[in-house]
Amino acid sequence: MRYTDNYNRKVRITDAGLYRLPLLMAGVILFIFSGCSSSEQVQVQQNLSPALMPVSEIQAPHPDPRVGLSPGVFDAEEAIWNLRLISTTPPPDNFVGSTATDLAFKGNYAIQGDYNGFMVWDISDPENPVLVVDFLCPASQSDVSVYGDLLFVSGEGLEGRLDCGIDAPRTAVSEVRLRGIRIFDISDIRNPRYVANVQTCRGSHTHSVLVDPNDDENVYVYVSGSAPVRPEDELPGCSSALPDDDPNSALFRIEVIKVPLANPELAAIVNSPRIFEDLTAPPTHGPAPDDMAVIERARARGAFVGNFNGTPRVLNSGMVRRYLTRIVEERGGTGDPTAADSAALRERLPEFIAEITRLRGRGLSGRGPNQCHDITLYPELGIAGGACEGYGLLLDISDPANPVRIDAVADSNFAYWHSASFNNDGTTVIFTDEWGGGTQPKCRAADPLEWGANAIYSIKDGKMEFQSYFKMSAPQTTMENCVAHNGSLIPIPGRDIMVQSWYQGGINVFDFSDPANPVEIAYHDRGPISLDRLETGGSWSIYWYNGVLINSEIYRGLDIFELLPGDHITENEIAAANTVQMNYFNPQGQPKFAWPASYALVRAYADQLERNREADMTTLQMIRTGIIEAERAGSAGKTSVLSRLAAEVENRAGSTGNPDKMARIATALKELATAS
Amino acid sequence: MHRNKTAYLIAVVFVAGLVGTGCSSTEPVTEIRQPQQDMSDREALFWSNRESSRTNYTEADVDFMTKMIAHHAQALVMSALARGSAHQHSGRQQAADMPGMLSWEQLEELAASKGSDFDRSYLTFMIQHHEGAVIMVQELFSTNGAALDVEIFQLASEINAEQITEIERMKQMLETMSHK
């Protein structure tokens, strides 16, 4: 359904509620148990069946309304599902047409990088974000991070100047060129002061600020730069020779900068770890379940299945014909191959495959990646995910200046490992593949959903195991650059949910609690900027920050969304997520979320038990009515109600399908019982 | 419940259809996007800024892009030889003054070789070819005023990183082959 709203945006709204009116009735019953306070409504209904739909059964709007949206720079048609766009605010005139990049957050401010510099938005009122700083300081890509009173900005392009001037240095070797990290003092965030630089040999495409839990005097900045090495005349010591020829080569390494918080002007490179050293042949993940099924079916009907570097593949008929002909020739025979030839082929298949892999160079110890594109740090767990060109790396960062590689994965479906995100438990890591570099249309109808997608790995004992791919699935036009890009977790307790950018493919929200079966549960998309030519635009990054989703739109400014409740995420789950409050947030420095005990938390867990059919409705009603009673009992009477409920929950935990979640409910109830 | 849902789906589609036909003032959307018509000042500024960012190219940038096209075309010819599908005269017109480009004689040598000789020649020539691309990027970056445009910068950076990695990989492959 399309309509034109007050802001003159052309919107296709897909209302979750309209879709599931029958569930509304169940919802009303739920509401009675969870929200209302009049006593006659608190009654236990017997034989209720679970109403919340399992995530895997959620029906996305069909046909997909993201297909065929009309174009426009600031007035493109939009499609939205399970989200509300609270506001969209265009960039100031001096940033119009310039590329906005990544986001960082401090207090009530969102800092948005831009090839022109950076902007600071006051987001206290999400309906009306107010631009408070537009700082001109050109350099791509101006990725931003904050810590304390400091703002860090990446400079990689040749146009960056030490003094932030807008006249790009026009000589190949320049004394005024900045390629590396700029440091600003933002103790008065409305008046940033440029206080320091750290120059690096390859500039800084991205960076990640590591806040070491054991060090409150310094932070560390991991710098990734993928551009060519600068001339030694511009920055002494920079060598672009291959490491075999020059051990000091700036290639095949990252830089670690130590920043003394009290003296940021003393920030300097303290290590250049070669975390790619000795990367041998890329291990490949096993086939996805569907591929495996195809292979098993092929095997069952007698097809030739070979083992290519540990991955089974069905030989195509051309290969089989060639090998059979060869076997016939080798025995000096003529004519059609016999059954014995066929058996001989089965026998000799490993030998033939070894020939192929030798020829293609696979299985050889080729040199691995030259650089990382991005590194996501998870300091509380002492690990980091490195998205490094042809590899996804797992790093141990417990010694901040000396990251050590503990595992590496590669995948022939992945063209360019771009960024990483962990789930909150650190048991799952998502890597994105920026196939085509982000400037190309890679979401066309015929593009495989495994290419330019996310790859989801589980982490067990420091090893990554492939689980699945996930890609925004609505076909986009050839005028829309589209591929997996940046995103963050949404802190729904008890579930793994991420919001992510797909450039002109828009943004989406997906549930990867079951890492083998990710499910899209919400989205927003605009039509192309133009149907006449491809302008590299769309969403650069979107992150959850203190209850809202903030989107850095490359040309269209700043969007702020909120989640709409439904079966996919209930009101209670949203309320529980919103109990998480951050003072600052750098998406490349992942914080570990902790949820304070709250009634919303208990209700959210109860909703999940219902959604996943893990507890019977009687148990869930007991929990829900118990909470209402406790709310009604007030501070004086709630302790006994909650303690009793906690004991009963513990008592029943073992008979449910998720004793762990029941235990978490009990823990929260006990904390609530004793809280004043 | 599922049957009910289907019924509601039909209703939603029906209502959507009504809205679609009833509120024709919001449609068809294609009419709204006529160029120069109804364009906001901001959009006009956007297009003018995008245009001016495109006039930032230096001769070295244009030269790099033009040469890179020819350079890549030769790599395609080499790959076609590897697949045994190259046409006899393809690549004849390649400019010879670009770094790393194979001479016509080298291409013929490659086309004439077979089996492991072909593999070795292919890798040797492809390394030469890739090194040419790296040299071209270095030349670009050492030219005053070049690669200031972000798109050129990005493309050249990507080519650089990719080719260096590939060269390393091919060198390793060659080494492994010569040990056999």
Q: What is the pLDDT of residue A159?
A: 93
**B38 part of a folded domain:** no
Distance from CA of A421 to the nearest CA of B (A): 23
Cα–Cα distances in Å, from B77 out to A161, B29, B129? 42, 46, 12
Instruction: Mark whether A440 and A304 lie in a shared domain.
Output: no
Place of tokens 């001479």: B103
User: pLDDT per residue over A104-133, tens digit each?
Assistant: 999 999 999 999 999 999 999 999 999 999
**A469 part of a folded domain:** yes
Q: In chain A, which among 114-133 make CB contacts under 8 A with chain B?
A: 115
**A132 part of a folded domain:** yes
A-B interface: how many C-beta pairs under 8 angstroms? Answer: 149
**B158 part of a folded domain:** yes
The chain A residue lying nearest B154, using CA atoms, is A227
Q: Report the pLDDT averaged over residues A148-162.
A: 96
- The secondary structure of chain A in percent helix, strand, coil, rounded to multiples of 5, reads 25, 30, 45
Instruction: Mark whether A186 and A136 lie in a shared domain.
Output: yes
Task: Answer whether the bond into residue A71 is a cis peptide, omega within 30°.
Answer: no
**A68 part of a folded domain:** no
Instruction: Mark whether A139 and A269 lie in a shared domain.
Output: yes
A176 touches chain B (CB under 8 A): no
Which domain, by its residues, includes B141?
Answer: 59-178
**B16 part of a folded domain:** no
CB of A209 closer than 8 Å to CB of A152 = yes
User: Where among A532, A562, A585 does a domain terminate?
Assistant: A585
Place of tokens 């009907």: A301
Closest Cβ opposite residue A70 in set B8, B33, B153: B33
Q: CATH code at B83?
A: 1.20.1260.10
| Range in A38-47, A99-108, A448-457, A502-511 with the lowest mean pLDDT | A38-47
User: pLDDT per residue over B112-128, tens digit each?
Assistant: 888 888 888 888 999 88
Q: How far apart are CA B157 and CA A647, in angstroms?
A: 62
Q: Is the pLDDT of residue A531 over 70?
A: yes
Q: In chain A, which among 332-371 make CB contacts under 8 A with chain B?
A: 359, 361, 364-371
Instruction: Mark whether A274 and A295 lie in a shared domain.
Output: no
Q: CATH code at A85?
A: 2.130.10.10
- For chain A, give the percent of residues with pLDDT over 90: 73
Q: Copy the structure tokens of residue A627.
A: 């909470």
Q: Three-state SS for A54?
A: coil
Q: What is the pLDDT of residue A217?
A: 97
Q: Copy the structure tokens of residue A240.
A: 């672009």
Find all residues with CB under 8 Å of A334, minimum gap 6, and list them.
A328
- pLDDT-based confidence at residue A300 (cuts at 50, 70, 90): confident
Q: In chain A, which among 195-234 make CB contacts under 8 A with chain B?
A: 226-228, 231
For A390-437, strand residue ranges (E) read 391-396, 404-409, 417-422, 428-433
Q: How far apart are CA A71 and CA A74, in angstroms?
A: 9
**B113 part of a folded domain:** yes
Instruction: Mark whether A352 and A374 lie in a shared domain.
Output: no
- pLDDT-based confidence at residue A13 (cuts at 50, 70, 90): low
Cα of first residue to Cα of last residue in chain B, in angstroms, is 68
Q: What is the pLDDT of residue B87?
A: 52
A276 touches chain B (CB under 8 A): no
Within 8 A of A99 by CB-CB distance, chain B residues are: 150
Average pLDDT, chain A: 89
Q: How far apart are CA B20 and CA A198, in angstroms?
A: 57
Chain-centroid distance, C-alpha B8: 47
Within 8 A of B57 by CB-CB distance, chain A residues are: none
Contact flag B169-A74 (C-beta cutoff 8 Å): no
In single-letter form, the type of residue at position B13 comes to V
Q: Is the pLDDT of residue B29 over 60?
A: no
Neighbours of A659 (CB within 10 A): 14
User: pLDDT per residue over A572-590, tens digit each?
Assistant: 999 999 999 999 999 999 9
* SS (HEC) of B122-133: HHHHHHHHHHHH
The chain A residue lying nearest B46, using CA atoms, is A97
Which domain, by its residues, includes A347?
Answer: 289-360
Instruction: Mark whether A204 and A303 lie in a shared domain.
Output: no
Cα–Cα distances in Å, from A440 out to A15, A206, A483, A601? 31, 20, 8, 42
The set of long-range contacts for B123-129, using a CB threshold of 8 Å and a minimum separation of 24, is B123/B170, B123/B173, B123/B174, B123/B177, B124/B174, B125/B78, B126/B75, B126/B78, B126/B170, B127/B167, B127/B170, B127/B171, B127/B174, B128/B100, B128/B102, B129/B71, B129/B74, B129/B75, B129/B78, B129/B100, B129/B101, B129/B102
- pLDDT-based confidence at residue B5 (cuts at 50, 70, 90): very low
- pLDDT-based confidence at residue A367 (cuts at 50, 70, 90): low
**B50 part of a folded domain:** no
Contact flag A366-B27 (C-beta cutoff 8 Å): no
User: Where among A334, A360, A386 does a domain terminate?
Assistant: A360
Sign of CA dihedral B8, B14, B15, B20: positive
**A61 part of a folded domain:** no
Q: Three-state SS for A275?
A: coil
Q: What is the pLDDT of residue B8?
A: 33
Q: How far apart are CA A546 and CA A581, in angstroms?
A: 5
Instruction: Mark whether A455 and A522 lie in a shared domain.
Output: yes
CB of A503 closer than 8 Å to CB of A539 = yes
Number of domains in chain B: 1
Instruction: Mark whether A186 and A253 lie in a shared domain.
Output: yes
- For chain B, give the percent of residues with pLDDT over 90: 6
Instruction: Mark whether A232 and A353 lie in a shared domain.
Output: no
Chain-centroid distance, C-alpha A483: 12
**B4 part of a folded domain:** no
Number of domains in chain A: 3
Q: Report the pLDDT averaged over residues A58-78.
A: 96
Q: How far apart are CA A439 and CA A451, in angstroms?
A: 15
The chain B residue lying nearest A9, using CA atoms, is B26
CB of A574 closer than 8 Å to CB of A548 = no
**B40 part of a folded domain:** no
Instruction: Mark whether A39 and A142 lie in a shared domain.
Output: no
Q: Is the pLDDT of residue B84 over 90?
A: no
Instruction: Mark whether A437 and A458 lie in a shared domain.
Output: yes
**A63 part of a folded domain:** no
CB of A210 closer than 8 Å to CB of A222 = yes
Instruction: Mark whether A443 and A536 lie in a shared domain.
Output: yes
Distance from CA of A665 to the nearest CA of B (A): 30
Closest Cβ opposite residue B172 in set A159, A171, A365: A365
Q: How far apart are CA A181 and CA A197, in angstroms?
A: 6
Phi and psi angles of residue A617, each rounded to the nearest 5 degrees, phi first? -65, -30
Q: Is the pLDDT of residue A344 over 60?
A: yes
Q: Copy the structure tokens of residue A570.
A: 């209930």
